[in-house]
Structure 1
Amino acid sequence: MSEIPKDPLKAILLDLECHFTWNLLKEDILFDVEDTIEQQLEFVTTESRLTLYNLLAYVKHLKGQNEDALECLEQAEDIMQREHSDKEEVRRLVTWGNYAWVYYHMDQLKEAQKHLDKIGTVCRKLSSPSDYKLEMPEIDCEKGWALLKFGGKYYHRAKAAFEKALEAEPDNPEFNIGYAITVYRLDDTDRHGCIKSFSLGPLRKAVTLNPGNAYIKVLLALKLQDIQAEDEGEKYIEEILDQISSQPHVLRYTAKFYRRKNSWDKALEVLKKALKVTPMSSFLHHQMGLCYRAQMTEIKKATDNRPTGEDKRRMDRLLTTAISHFEVAVQRDSKFPFVYTDLASMYVEAGQCSKAEEVFQKALHLENITDDHKHQIHYYYGRFQEFHGKSESTAMCHYLEALKISDQSSLRPKLISVLKKLAVKRLGRDASDVQSLCALGFVYKLEGARRQAVEYYERALRLDPENAESLAALCELRLSI
């Protein structure tokens, strides 16, 4: 092929199937994705090392580290030659596509073209209708793994990629693992208050096809626990603990199983084992904090929330320890909102409300998080303001903000209830509280009680004729009645 000028070259690059064309956005890189990939390269149980090096190369590129990206792609090619000789050329296409893109961004157009030529040769050899694209299930699988690693907003696309791969090879062990993990994640992200078990069948099949894979077994165990089949799940957990000694990404989910079973000591034992391998893992420190917090809750229940003597001393030790683990988790993971709200709640427990306020402010200013996470931050901050921040008005603002963000959250019924109670309480003290009148109007509108909503908005308008919220809501409601 003769040398292609830069603009036509980019048109060809955009037609490739590789990480650079799968619309994986820089702002969606998870905070600890590099650490996670490197851990999995050391303890691989799911994705192939080839897949992980390809993904790591793309992440390095997004961070402006193109030389490091090339090193990762060299590792991928080396693995390809050693481990995938049967389908070497097909599996290399994604790697070559990534090479071409990295060289293009480095303005090394001859190197980019060299890798395009390799892709073109394979496509012609296999009679592809496209000059630079080949429809193969291995490529769909690679795409699925990449989408899965970029977080929740990509899960539905990942599912579609794995489904496409499975259409070609229904019993392929790797394709089934990827599909099962994706559906498991979707069960959680799409649950909206009810437990879903769409992943149960895919997980069982994946375990059957991959009996030595500890990671897929631990997900099956957790799903069985979800559907009240904990005894069956624990059999898989026992198999896992016999099977592995130092796979932190498996141990952390094993600990989660025991934590949900209220076996705090067993959960902590497993977590400490995992922390020896990855001492700065935000996930592990968060789980440790949750276990210590749960032990505190047990003491509170046993002492009717009035611990004394040794119980009080143990409570204080557990509180200090929980805070220390949550603090590490916050330092290591800047995007996971539950770490913030859990740390803030522990500061409140310790009487350190100013520190809780600081943590909540950081959480409220998190960027690139889901609407569901924003919704929960506003809810918990509202609770903090209502009961510890001495500002019912601020609490009401955040309850309203939470309800406006998400109408599908499991917290929605609770939010409506707490907002309604707070508004009624405030109106009992001051019948001319416009904020509370508008809040009740909004709540009744959400519940479909339009006439009651109109009544409260009209009362608000009589007190504040220029209130834009009431005017807009009334216009909308009157048109719908």
Structure 2
Amino acid sequence: MPDIENRAWDQIEFLDSKQNVGMHNLLAYVKHLKGRNEEALEILKEADDLIQREQTDQADVNSLVTWGNYAWVYYHMGKLSEAQTYLDKVENTCKKFRSLFRYRMECPEVDSKEGWALLKCGGQNYERAKACFEKALEVDPDNPEFSVGYAIAMYRLDNFRFSIKGHKTFSLRPLEQALRLNPGNVYIKVLLALKLQDLGRIAEGERYIEEALDSTSSQVYVLRYAAKFYRRKGCPDKALQLLERGLQATPTSAFLHHQIGLCYRAQMIQIKGTTSMQPRGPDREKLRRIVRSAIFHFESAVEIKPTFELAYVDLAKMYAEAGNYRKAEETYHKVLPMNPVVEETMQEIHFSYGQFQEFQKKSEADAMIHYLKAIQIKRVSFIRDKSINSLKKLAFRRLQRNASDLESLSLLGFVHKLKGNLNEALEYYEKALRLAVDWENSVGQNP
């Protein structure tokens, strides 16, 4: 809840958007869950005021969700007459627009509001959010607001499906359509830039980034995504400058702290690369400072958002980089029991922990266990392929030390089977079987 509350406040204050009414409603719900019903009512009043200021023909329809939330809060406060007042408002609006239901109305505006709320409440809701915007667009296909919501939902779902060939392009056309209908929406502009970068159209994407940075609209959000663009382009210094500006405005953003940590990690990799992995003197001291800074920001990210799985993984890696294996182990044990929405995230967790066990803790057995756990998550992904290759290398290395290692022979058979190399798989399985039979026979002959 604290993370949702922070992000809702940030959006209300810093994002030039028509969705501020929806964010007020979400914020009111969070306040209600925290037992602060009077504050919830104040926020709902702000939402109602925003709707009335618009003075559109759809003001009553746009107020339906807010009135329903008023009734909800008053009901839980035991103020039933006030709750009834707002129920009456809902009922009268449903009658006015000839709804088939007493307290519910099928209309694209309400579908859109549901979509925006779902988008704010975690990745497990993105498919439902997409469906809401699709339903709204069926009624009004050129509605700018519905188009923006649909494009954002598709963009986020693309990132969930990054491992599957072709899926990264799903949001390109919706983003282009949303920008066509909302040419001044810089938030959509920076998302489109990132999507173009994904597709290798970097120069085209950078033009959109530059246009967005020249605008005065939604600058905090522009800075976030522009920084992500430049970090991925290999310019972490430029990305850090943008992120630090954003952090001044929103110091409690887990996203910003995580992105800053990633930039420091990119700088660390650059130093290691230019010094052939052996930094000395000033380079070594600079590396230490960078690692400390990365740890600080990753720690901040997980403190602000305790369910930020990938930030835990990045923090554990950086603890290991600093030689603090105890803290790295503790961090992995915090994230391992989590149940991420995205299957690739769980693969990433097990793969990273396997690497830690293999290279830092020198425990080949534990490394194998976690590579296997990553592989057993059937989702096709880059990380799963890396886990398969790491398991193969580890099993092959063990076999070089001991040609009769049954476990390594079996694992190599398993790896070749996964890769579709059935003849090689059979060879390893047969070797393992022969060794097992020989071992059983030799045991049986002993007195």
Whether the TM-score (by the shorter chain) exceeds 0.5 is: yes
Q: Whole-Å Cα distance in 1 between the matches of residues 410 and 83 of structure 2?
A: 61
Q: Whole-Å Cα distance in 2 between the matches of residues 252 and 460 of structure 1?
A: 58
Deviates more, 1:269-278 or 1:307-316: 307-316
Partner residue, 2:175: 203
1:258–1:436 CA distance, 2 compared to 1 (3 A):
same
Deviation, structure 1 residue 384: 0.4
Q: 1:189 and 2:152 equivalent?
A: no
Deviation, structure 1 residue 213: 1.7
TM-score by length of 2: 0.89
Amino acid at match of 1:277: A
1:434–1:201 CA distance, 2 compared to 1 (3 A):
same
1:193–1:123 CA distance, 2 compared to 1 (3 A):
closer
Offset from partner CA, 1:99-150 (integer Å, 9 cap, x none): 2333334444443333222222111121112222211111111011011111
Offset from partner CA, 1:402-459 (integer Å, 9 cap, x none): 1223422321111111112222333444466565455445545544548568648857
1:78–1:302 CA distance, 2 compared to 1 (3 A):
same
Q: Whole-Å Cα distance in 2 between the matches of residues 384 and 363 of structure 1?
A: 14
Deviates more, 1:41-50 or 1:100-109: 100-109
Deviates more, 1:50-59 or 1:375-384: 50-59
Q: Is the 8 A contact 1:426 1:436 kept in 2?
A: yes
Amino acid at match of 2:208: Y
- Among 262, 268, 291, the alignment partner of 2:263 is 291
Q: Is the 8 A contact 1:207 1:216 kept in 2?
A: yes
Amino acid at match of 1:386: E
SS at match of 1:86: coil
Partner residue, 2:119: 148
Offset from partner CA, 1:351-394 (integer Å, 9 cap, x none): 22222112212221335554322221111000000111121111
Deviates more, 1:303-312 or 1:424-433: 424-433
Q: Is the 8 A contact 2:15 2:220 kept in 1?
A: no
Matches within 5 A, 1:71-470: 71-192=42-163, 194=165, 196-244=168-216, 247-366=219-338, 369-430=341-402, 435-436=407-408, 439-440=411-412, 442-444=414-416, 446-447=418-419, 449=422, 451=426, 455=430
Deviates more, 1:455-464 or 1:438-447: 455-464
1:343–1:460 CA distance, 2 compared to 1 (3 A):
farther
Q: Whole-Å Cα distance in 2 between the matches of residues 63 and 455 of structure 1?
A: 62
Q: Whole-Å Cα distance in 1 between the matches of residues 85 and 438 of structure 2?
A: 74
Q: Whole-Å Cα distance in 2 between the matches of residues 110 and 314 of structure 1?
A: 66
Q: Whole-Å Cα distance in 1 between the matches of residues 368 and 428 of structure 2?
A: 17
Q: Is the 8 A contact 1:246 1:277 kept in 2?
A: no
Q: Is the 8 A contact 2:15 2:221 kept in 1?
A: no
Q: Is the 8 A contact 2:258 2:311 kept in 1?
A: yes
1:447–1:145 CA distance, 2 compared to 1 (3 A):
same
Gapped regions of structure 1 (runs ≥ 5): 1-28, 466-481
SS at match of 2:57: helix
Q: Whole-Å Cα distance in 1 between the matches of residues 390 and 136 of structure 2?
A: 47
1:402–1:457 CA distance, 2 compared to 1 (3 A):
farther
Deviation, structure 1 residue 307: 2.1
Deviation, structure 1 residue 461: 7.5
Partner residue, 1:3: none
Q: Whole-Å Cα distance in 2 between the matches of residues 281 and 336 of structure 1?
A: 12
Amino acid at match of 2:257: H
Q: Whole-Å Cα distance in 1 between the matches of residues 404 and 205 of structure 2?
A: 57
RMSD between aligned residues: 2.6
Amino acid at match of 1:175: F
Q: Whole-Å Cα distance in 1 between the matches of residues 405 and 339 of structure 2?
A: 33
Deviates more, 1:264-273 or 1:380-389: 264-273
Q: Is the 8 A contact 2:16 2:218 kept in 1?
A: no
SS at match of 1:411: helix
Count of equivalent residues: 436
Q: Whole-Å Cα distance in 1 between the matches of residues 295 and 120 of structure 2?
A: 29
Deviates more, 1:52-61 or 1:33-42: 52-61
Identical positions, percent: 54
Offset from partner CA, 1:271-325 (integer Å, 9 cap, x none): 1111111123221122112212212222222221122233333223222222222
Q: Is the 8 A contact 1:246 1:273 kept in 2?
A: no
Amino acid at match of 2:239: A
Offset from partner CA, 1:167-206 (integer Å, 9 cap, x none): 2222211111111111111111112154612222221222
Q: Whole-Å Cα distance in 1 between the matches of residues 104 and 255 of structure 2?
A: 39
Q: Is the 8 A contact 1:337 1:363 kept in 2?
A: yes
Q: Is the 8 A contact 1:374 1:402 kept in 2?
A: yes
Deviation, structure 1 residue 157: 1.3
Q: Is the 8 A contact 1:246 1:274 kept in 2?
A: no
Q: Whole-Å Cα distance in 2 between the matches of residues 440 and 150 of structure 1?
A: 43
